Amino acid sequence: RANDGYGLWLDYQAIENPTAKSDLSRLYSGFYFFGQSPTYDVIRKELELSGEKMLGQSPVFTSERLAQTQVWLGTREELSQVLGLQQQTSIKELGEDGYWRGPIGFQGKTYYAIVGNRPISVLYGVFDWLRSIQTDSFDQTAEKSGSPKVKLRMLNHWDNLDRTVERGYAGFSIWDWHKLPGYVDPRYLDYARANASLGINAVSLTNVNANARILTTDFMKKAKVLADLFRPYGIKVFLTARFSAPIEIGGLKTADPLDSAIIDFWKKKTDEMYSFIPDFGGFLVKANSEGQPGPHEYGRNHAEGANMLADALAPHGGVLIWRAFVYSHELDEDRHKHANLEFEPLDGKFRDNVIIQVKNGAIDFMPREPFHPLFGAMPKTNLGMEFQITQEYLGQATQLVYLAPMWEEVLQSKTYRPTPSSTVAGVVDGSDSDQKLTLVAGVSNIGTDRNWTGHLMAQSNWYAFGRMAWNPDLSSGEIADEWVKMTFGKDPELAGKIKEILLDSREAAVNYMMPLGLHHIMGRDHHYGPGPWVTGGRADWTALYYHQADSLGIGFDRTASGSNALGQYAPEIQNAWSDPQEIPEKFLLWFHHLPWDFEMRSGRTLWEEIGLHYDSGVKSVRQMQETWASLEGKIDPARFDHVRQLLAIQEEEAEWWRNACLLYFQTFAKRPFPAEIEQPT
Ligand code: GCW
């Protein structure tokens, strides 16, 4: 059967190396569980699947005669009860999600053990072990331990109750609300396995542009089924709460967060939710943003809105996630500044169980943005990161763009606050901040398409998101390496070439779409393809607002002579970036309006440099195509052809972007294109 990509990175390629195979085969001949848990049943199933696929062998699970076993699985406590073992006490320090795996000597024999602080972390240890086998890095004599740096590692689905998906490019929502609670699609379990294999431990099922019906009893019963299925995989369910729900489903006249009837409504709703899902994660809220209802309607601020919901969740241990994606051009001329203006004054005013979820940049998931200036600016507030895995502004389902280099760039950015060496990763994972409740969220790219993500290669973005949420300091290169080997096999030449394609793809997209700090110049509403000419309606929805091209030059002056959004960053950044000679050129036009003949570091003019960037983006795509073509015969024809066809579309689209943007900007610059580029027509 043709490989349709359904198996994701859990497809478990057959092991060919005879020594590795016989070693592993021995291990698969005797698994021993020291305790019982529904999560151990999940592990058993994964061992069955992986044994069949990697070795053509069913694992043996024994319950007696320890001496005949090979692999031990259990929690630290379970192991020490049976064996009286006191080693591995350090595992305890790894926290509830931490695990240890390695050899244990007992009564003259060595066993391979995977030990966690609770059953879920044994599962994490098993997935880590399976990953090491698939990537050829398993050494049974070595010890390895792991634990996540972030507490909530979460997918945000923008899925509507009618199964359409906002900004979804992989079919419809996998949540079949119509058939729930009676019918359980087996796909739900494969979804849970995939997430658990990465350590993703929370999912918000519904769109942040929320429908209040999800909070009705009927829908709670449906959500309960999913929560029950996900529990053994360590995944908690969250739902989006529409702020005006008291009016829409509660028959009340207001949604004022300080009104006692409203407080009571949310308390009862929340209690009811917990009666169905005792470990319900909490609510995710988009309020007073893009027309969504919120506390402002009643003259209340974000903290008053968020805290009211947080108080309803607190007795149950629930978390309230409140988004900082708020903007207009009314509060300030520059939309960029809006979130800081509204949220910074509220620092320290949110309850302990509130997390403010902040997009990686201040505008909106652009191909490249400087990090959001809220990171580092609210030391007394839990700040979570929101990435977008779905490629709204990065080619949607037709383009291959590996997003991990972008996330890495953001996470490793220095904020210089709260300490001089702080980074975004350090703020978010709490190592540079005091925050206890930490969160990395990603807007899901999953849908009903057989291969889950529309573009097969977009599976790498789901994978990379999960890995980075677990450890924000992992590099995009090592993650690519893992994913490629797990998805396409370990042939070094093949793996090397696919990795090269992945790692070049994001810079290619930036170049042919929005190089040198250009942003928000895409097609209106659908956000597909170029639209630097977009005008009309709200100023901050036009393109001209962002690129500001005129006969003199191009770019948005956000320095002190302009909007001074730069003033929202730490002084170190302000100093360096306010100088067009010093700012990294990748952010040049984000912060500066410069003449077309401005001299770039290459010695070329700005106009020439823009042309070269657009053109090099197209050339990179052609290089990706060539590299892919060289893999013909080394990848199964189904997957080979899928990617080949999409790369051909991507080439056309890259040319479209280049030609459209350059021809449009030329109407202002009135200069010829650099001779060395393919001339746009
Ligand atoms: O990126 C924009 C999208 C909207 C989205 C919004 C948000 C859910 O175009 O579709 O709405 O951001 O993040 O709230």
Between the CA of 504 and the centroid of ligand 1 the distance, in Å, is 27
User: Is residue 502 included in any domain, yes or no?
Assistant: no
Same domain, 141 and 157: no
Q: What is the CATH number of the domain that holds 361?
A: 3.20.20.80
Does the C-beta of 365 come closer than 6 Å to ligand 1?
yes
Confidence of residue 122 (pLDDT cuts 50, 70, 90): very high
How many CB atoms within 10 Å of residue 166?
A: 15
Average pLDDT of 75-97?
Answer: 80
Is residue 488 situated within a structural domain? no
The verdict on 139 and 168 lying in the same domain is no
Kindly report the CATH number assigned to the domain that includes residue 99.
Answer: 3.30.379.10
Say yes or no: 24 and 173 in one domain.
Answer: no
Return the residue matching tokens 């305890």.
92
**Nearest C-alpha to atom 11 of ligand 1 is from which residue?**
209
Q: Which of 369, 392, 540, 653 is catalytic?
A: 392
Where a domain ends, among 125, 146, 167?
146
Ligand 1 centroid distance, CA of 91 (Å): 41
Closest by CA to 160, choosing from 239, 229, 237, 246, is 239
Q: What is the pLDDT of residue 80?
A: 87
Element (H, E) at 461: helix 459-470
Tell me, what amino acid is at 351? R
End-to-end CA distance of the chain: 44
Per the structure block, which two tokens stand in for 377? 């600016």
pLDDT in tens, 409-445: 999 999 999 999 999 999 999 999 889 899 999 999 9
Q: Which is nearest to 377 in space by CA: 411, 417, 350?
A: 417
Closest C-alpha to ligand 1, atom 1: 364
Task: Find out whether the beta carbon of 40 lies less than 6 Å from any atom of ligand 1.
Answer: no
User: Is 290 noted as a catalytic residue in this protein?
Assistant: yes
> What's the total number of domains in the chain?
3
Task: Tell me the average pLDDT across 393-422.
Answer: 98
What's the rounded Cα separation, in Å, for the pair 648 and 531? 22
Which residues, at least 6 apart from 355, have a Cβ–Cβ distance to it below 8 Å?
A: 152, 319, 320, 321, 322, 382, 383, 384, 437, 439
Domain at 537, CATH number: 3.90.1330.10
* Percentage of residues in the chain having pLDDT higher than 70: 99
Task: Answer yes or no: is 173 within a domain.
Answer: yes
Look at residue 539 in the predicted model and tell me its pLDDT: 87
The pLDDT value given to residue 2: 79
Please identify, by atom number, the ligand 1 atom nearest to the C-alpha of residue 289.
14
Is residue 393 located within the same domain as residue 524? no
Does one domain contain both 171 and 141?
no
* Domain stops at, among 111, 146, 181: 146
Judgement on whether residues 394 and 449 belong to the same structural domain of the protein? yes
Residue 486 Cα to ligand 1 middle (Å) = 32
- The alpha carbon of 62 and the centre of ligand 1 are apart by a number of angstroms equal to 51
Tell me if residue 342 is catalytic. no
Tell me, what's the pLDDT at 88? 58
pLDDT, average across residues 608-613? 98
Q: Is the peptide bond before 181 cis (omega within 30 degrees of 0)?
A: yes
- Does one domain contain both 131 and 172? no
Q: What is the mean pLDDT of residues 604-615?
A: 98
Residue ranges making up the domain that contains 135? 8-146
Residues 371-389: pLDDT tens digits?
Answer: 999 999 999 999 999 999 9
Query: What ipTM is given for this predicted complex?
Result: 0.99
Distances in Å between the alpha carbon of 601 and those of 4, 408, 589, 606, 677?
47, 25, 14, 10, 19
Q: Do 141 and 158 share a domain, yes or no? A: no
Omega before residue 295 within 30° of 0, cis: no
Task: Assign 89 a pLDDT band (cuts: 50, 70, 90).
Answer: low
117 and 192 assigned to the same domain:
no
| Rounded Cα–Cα distance for residues 479 and 460 (Å) | 9
Predicted confidence at residue 87, as pLDDT, reads 56
Compute the distance between CA of residue 617 and CA of residue 310 in angstroms, rounded to an integer: 46
Same domain for 187 and 166: yes
Atom of ligand 1 nearest to the CA of 364: 1
pLDDT tens digits, one per residue of 277-304 = 999 999 999 999 999 999 999 999 999 9
Over residues 396-414, the mean pLDDT reads 98
Tell me whether residue 584 is exposed, middle or buried, using C-beta atoms within 10 angstroms of its C-beta: 0 to 12, 13 to 18, 19 or more: exposed
Q: What is the DSSP string of 402-451?
A: --HHHHHHHHT-B---SSTT-BHHHHHTSSSS--SS-EEEEE----SSTT
DSSP code at position 516? G
State the Cα–Cα distance between residues 263 and 347, nearest whole angstrom. 23
Q: What is the CA radius of gyration of the chain?
A: 26
Q: How confident is the model over 546-563, as pLDDT tens digits? A: 999 999 999 999 999 999
Is residue 234 in some structural domain?
Answer: yes
Distance 228 CA to ligand 1 centre (A): 29
Contact 191, 446 (CB under 8 A): yes
Residue 218 CA to ligand 1 center (angstroms) comes to 27
Q: Three-class SS of residue 72?
A: strand
What does residue 450 show for φ and ψ, rounded to 5 degrees?
A: -55, -40
- Of the three residues 475, 491, 522, the one that is the final residue of a domain is 475
Q: Check residues 591 and 328 and name the one with the higher pLDDT.
A: 591
Is the CB–ligand 1 distance for residue 167 below 6 Å? yes
Average pLDDT over residues 206-214: 98
Query: Ligand 1 within 6 A of 266 CB?
Result: no
Residue 43 lies in a domain: yes
Identify whether 504 is part of a domain.
no
CA nearest 38: which of 106, 146, 138, 122? 122
Q: Is the CB of 118 under 6 A from ligand 1?
A: no
Residue 634 forms part of a structural domain: yes
Beta carbon of 158 within 6 Å of any ligand 1 atom: yes
- Same domain for 340 and 249: yes
Query: Ligand 1 atom closest to Cα of 209?
Result: 8
Residue in the block written with tokens 């019906």: 213
Closest ligand 1 atom to residue 286 Cα is 14
Q: Answer whether residue 447 is part of any domain.
A: yes
Considering the candidates 176, 364, 500, 678, report the single residue annotated as catalytic.
364
For residues 30 and 103, membership in a common domain is answered with: yes
- Does 64 score more than 90 pLDDT? no
The mean pLDDT of 629-647, rounded to a whole number, is 97
CA–CA distances in Å: residue 288 to residues 140, 250, 291, 520: 54, 20, 6, 21
pLDDT of residue 81: 81
pLDDT at 521 over 70: yes
Give residues with Cβ within 8 angstroms of 585, minimum separation 6. 516, 517, 600, 601
Residue 232 pLDDT greater than 70, yes or no: yes
